[in-house]
Structure formats: C-alpha cells, structure tokens
C-alpha cells in the first residue's frame, strides 16, 4: 500500500517499477545510435568491446556507492539533495542549474529527436522510400511527444511508473531479439551491400580517440542515477533502492554487451563508422538480416525504446525542480504538488516546455547555419550535455566519503561493498575523461565551464544566504 508523504508525494513505485526506472531511462537512444561514432574512433572491435565492458564496470561501481547515499536520503531531488547535504547549498544549486538548463533538457530533446527519426523511417518505408515529414514537421512531432508524455506524468506517478514498466519490458525484449537474430538467421548474415558507402581507413589507436569513443559509451550508460530523484516516491526505499540500482545496472550491462557483439557480427566496423546520420546502427543491422521488414522492426524497436527513456526522464527530471522549489533555490511555485494527482505538475510542465524550446532552438541554429549542419541535432545535444553530467554526477558519488565522516552512526540498511576502494576506482576514469574533453572537445568543455561559472554568479548575487535550520 502506498504512503503519502508530508510533501504530498506518494510512495507509489514498487520494486519492479523502480528497477524499470533505472533500466528504462538508461536504455534509450545510445545503444542504437552511438556505436556508429564509437566505431569511427577506435581501430578494431576488441577496443570497442573493452570500452563497453569498462563503461559497464564503471556504472556498476558508481551504483554500488550511490545506493548507500540514496538509502541515507530517500528524498525527491536525488543528486541535488546529496550535494546540498554533503557540500552545501551552492553545490546543490549548481547541480540543479546545469541539470535543468542543459543535462536533462538536452537529454529529453535528444531522445525525442531520435523518436521522430525512427517514426520517419517507418513512414518512409510505408511510402516506398519517399520523404514524408519536412524539416519543421519533424520538429513539431518531436515537441508534441514531449508535451504528451508530460501530461501523462502530471496525471500521476503510478501512470508514469506503470507506463515505464511496460515499455521497459518491451525494450529489453527488443534488445534480446537483436542479440539472437544473427544466430537464428545465420544464412542471411552475409556481406550484403546496403548502399554505396565511401569507406575510410580504420583509425589508428590513440588515447584521444579512445576518450572520444568512451564519451559515446558513457552517454549510452547515462541515466543510471535516475532513480535517486524519485526516491521519495519509492515504496520501502531501504530495500527497493539498492535492489533497483544494482539489478537494473546488471540488466543494462548484459543487454549492451550482447547487442554490440551482434551488431559487429553483421555490420563490419569500417562500414558502421560511415553509416549516414539519418539511420541508426540497429536499422542497418536489421535491414541486412531481414530486408525492408527489418527496417520497420528496428525503427519500431528504437521508437519504443526512446519513448520509454523519454517517459522515464519526464518522471524523474522534474523532481529536481520540485526539491529546489521547496528549498527556495527555484521559484516556490515549482515546489507545489497537484492537489488531486499528487505530482509536481508545474515542475513537469516547466521541464517539458524548456526541452521543447531547446528542440526548436537547435533546429533554428542548424537552419541558420549557426550550428554545424553536418552534425546531427542528436550529437549536438548529447555532446554539450555530457560535460556537466560527468562533472556533477562524479561529485555526487564522492559524497559517500563525506557522509561516512559526518554521519558515522547513521542507520545504513545497505553499505557500499568494497568501500573505500570501489568509489575511489570509480573516480579515476571520469577525471581522465574530463581531461580528454578539454583536449579534444574544447568548445563543449569551455561552454560547460562557462555555464557553471554563470550559475555560481547567479547564486552569489541572488540566492546566497545562511542555510535554514532543520
């Protein structure tokens, strides 16, 4: 039976729904799209496999550490709460500043963009290969799906959670089908020329190339922390949060490794690296095995997967605005709960509206050639999102050291296995990756640092005050 909290939120997410939040918000677009850019930055599949395994282990180490912190603070807001309690109000505000304006909104916009691309692939197949949606019609569909899912999540946490559980099961089954398809249809898994591809030599090994490729891997794993913002709505949090974190991450690692092995068994790396931006690796994979029907099936699978990730992000993302509104670090109105649906309705609608504006802004930038027209809107959005995400999510994991020192006697129903080695090892790779971004993706890194500095200035001039007594 769900319990209503003092703030008006309901503990309506059971163990399976909580696990579905972890799996469903992580498995979205990355596993279908990012293998193309990863293939273009490393010499051969052995390095690709190493990167996916490393990304999975890194995610697992982070989950082992963050689960302990989430059990200590099972409140709406997730990383915002952890950083506020660990490092002070300014740290919490800066996470919220970057998360709202860039990370979450860019994630929503990028996912909705891939949803529309997959829908367009389906319509194009049904129309015999002709274009169906014009540029701005695609953007209208992208905006429409964001707003429609926002209304579903306004309606109630059980609505959003139930939809998340159903779609997550569908997407996991879709990935399982991709894993076994080359085995089932061995006779069709031959070198079929899909199109006239201009191949280029395989790249030589370089640490910079590995770092850039690993950024794509991390985007595919990004979102494993997404259970934390809705912790206040998880039933029996002391039990269900650790199970959902660790079980969800385990499912994701298994799916990702199996799917990448299947991709490369059918689509050679050099061909994968030069696939056009208008298609996904999953679509190419299924097309080679099943022909036109494969394109329809793959596009449908991608569309369902991205739809689930969109719903999950609209379920968890607004809880940050809700928590900041309650603390006075965002407009107080965002901290209100709908009297009938017991959801942070205003925060949900504000988050969705900003994501829609970001979709339109990126589209306008491409039309006006302010942004690189050769770079897909998806890659534009994800590259800018990842700098802030890596910075603050890594900082959130470090709060385990702070709370072990500040709260040594707190009741911990779950304690991080292998502490302190596990969280220390987790910190090494993100630090190296951030350094590589400054060297190889200087524009994105500089823009991220500038935006964080702007947030610090906003806090210093308008919000700095003594922490309120609890």
Tell me the DSSP string of 369-406.
TSS-TTS-HHHHHHHHHHHHHHHHHHHHHHHHHHHHHH
Residue 228: how many CB atoms within 10 A of its CB? Answer: 31
* Cα 300 to the center of its chain, rounded Å: 20
Classify residue 322: in a domain, yes or no.
yes
> Any idea which of 251-265, 314-328, 363-377 has the lowest mean pLDDT?
363-377
Q: Cα separation of 373 and 365, whole Å?
A: 9
Q: Cα separation of 57 and 417, whole Å?
A: 14
195-to-186, 271, 276 alpha-carbon distances in Å: 21, 10, 10
Classify residue 53: in a domain, yes or no.
yes
The answer to whether residues 161 and 12 touch, using CB atoms and an 8 Å cutoff, is: yes
What is the residue range of 416's domain? 16-463
Classify residue 251: in a domain, yes or no.
yes
Predicted local distance difference test score (pLDDT) of residue 407: 93
In this prediction, residue 8 has a pLDDT band, given cuts at 50, 70 and 90, of low
In this prediction, residue 204 has a pLDDT band, given cuts at 50, 70 and 90, of confident
Mean pLDDT for the stretch of residues 315-325: 88
Q: Is the dihedral of CA 120, 362, 316, 19 positive or negative?
A: positive
In this prediction, residue 381 has a pLDDT band, given cuts at 50, 70 and 90, of low
pLDDT in tens, 388-439: 788 888 999 999 999 999 999 998 888 999 999 999 999 988 888 788 778 8
Q: Cα separation of 289 and 388, whole Å?
A: 39
Q: Cα separation of 38 and 330, whole Å?
A: 38
Classify residue 11: in a domain, yes or no.
no
- Give the closest residue to 377 by CA, choosing from 111, 143, 137, 27: 111
Q: Is the dihedral of CA 400, 402, 403, 408 positive or negative?
A: positive
Q: Which residues lie below 8 Å from residue 294, measured CB to CB, with a gap of 6+?
A: 283, 285, 286, 287, 288
Predicted local distance difference test score (pLDDT) of residue 458: 94
The answer to whether residues 444 and 384 touch, using CB atoms and an 8 Å cutoff, is: yes
pLDDT in tens, 73-107: 988 888 999 999 999 999 999 999 988 988 888 88
Classify residue 450: in a domain, yes or no.
yes
Classify residue 46: in a domain, yes or no.
yes
Per-residue burial over 181-209, b if 16 or more Cβ lie within 10 Å, else e, is: bbeeeeeebeeeeeeeeeeeeebeeeeeb
CATH of the domain at 265: 1.20.1740.10
Is the pLDDT assigned to residue 2 strictly greater than 50?
A: no
The answer to whether residues 315 and 104 touch, using CB atoms and an 8 Å cutoff, is: no
Share of residues in the chain with pLDDT > 70 (%): 88
Classify residue 130: in a domain, yes or no.
yes
Domain count, the chain: 1
Q: Cα separation of 243 and 236, whole Å?
A: 11
User: Which two three-digit tokens encode residue 348?
Assistant: 């949900």
* Cα 90 to the center of its chain, rounded Å: 24
Classify residue 10: in a domain, yes or no.
no
């Amino acid at each position: 039976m769900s319990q209503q909290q003092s703030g008006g939120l309901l503990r309506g997410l059971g163990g399976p729904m909580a696990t579905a939040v972890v799996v469903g918000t992580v498995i979205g677009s990355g596993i279908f799209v990012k293998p193309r850019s990863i293939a273009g930055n490393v010499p051969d599949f052995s390095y690709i496999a190493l990167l996916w395994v490393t990304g999975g282990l890194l995610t697992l180490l982070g989950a082992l550490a963050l689960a302990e912190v989430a059990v200590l603070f099972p409140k709406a807001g997730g990383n915002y709460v952890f950083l506020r309690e660990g490092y002070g109000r300014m740290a919490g505000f800066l996470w919220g500043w970057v998360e709202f304006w860039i990370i979450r909104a860019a994630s929503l916009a990028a996912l909705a963009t891939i949803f529309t691309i997959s829908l367009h692939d389906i319509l194009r197949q049904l129309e015999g290969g002709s274009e169906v949606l014009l540029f701005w019609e695609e953007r209208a569909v992208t905006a429409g799906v964001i707003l429609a899912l926002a209304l579903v999540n306004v309606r109630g946490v059980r609505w959003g959670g139930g939809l998340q559980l159903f779609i997550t099961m569908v997407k996991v089954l879709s990935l399982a089908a991709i894993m076994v398809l080359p085995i089932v249809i061995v006779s069709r898994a031959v070198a079929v020329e899909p199109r006239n591809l201009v191949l280029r030599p395989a790249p030589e090994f370089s640490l910079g190339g590995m770092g850039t490729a690993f950024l794509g891997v991390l985007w595919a794993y990004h979102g494993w922390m997404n259970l934390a913002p809705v912790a206040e709505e998880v039933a029996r949090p002391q039990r269900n949060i650790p199970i959902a974190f660790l079980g969800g991450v385990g499912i994701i690692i298994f799916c990702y490794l199996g799917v990448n092995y299947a991709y490369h068994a059918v689509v050679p790396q050099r061909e994968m690296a030069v696939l056009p931006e208008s298609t996904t690796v999953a679509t190419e994979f299924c097309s080679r095995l099943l022909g036109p029907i494969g394109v329809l099936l793959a596009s449908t699978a991608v569309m369902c997967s991205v739809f689930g990730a969109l719903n999950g992000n609209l379920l968890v993302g607004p809880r940050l605005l809700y928590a900041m509104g309650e603390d006075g670090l965002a407009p107080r109105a965002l901290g209100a709960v709908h009297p009938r649906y017991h959801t942070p309705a205003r925060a949900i609608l504000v988050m969705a509206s900003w994501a829609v504006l970001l979709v339109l802004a990126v589209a306008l930038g491409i039309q006006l050639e302010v942004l690189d027209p050769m770079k897909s809107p998806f890659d534009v959005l994800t590259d800018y999102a990842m700098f802030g995400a890596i910075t603050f999510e890594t900082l959130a994991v470090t709060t385990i050291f702070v709370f072990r020192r500040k709260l040594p006697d707190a009741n911990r129903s779950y304690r991080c296995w292998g502490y302190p080695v596990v969280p220390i090892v987790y910190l090494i790779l993100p630090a190296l990756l951030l350094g590589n971004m400054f060297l190889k993706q200087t524009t994105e890194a500089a823009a991220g640092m500038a935006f964080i500095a702007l947030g610090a200035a906003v806090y210093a001039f308008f919000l700095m005050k003594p922490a309120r007594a609890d």
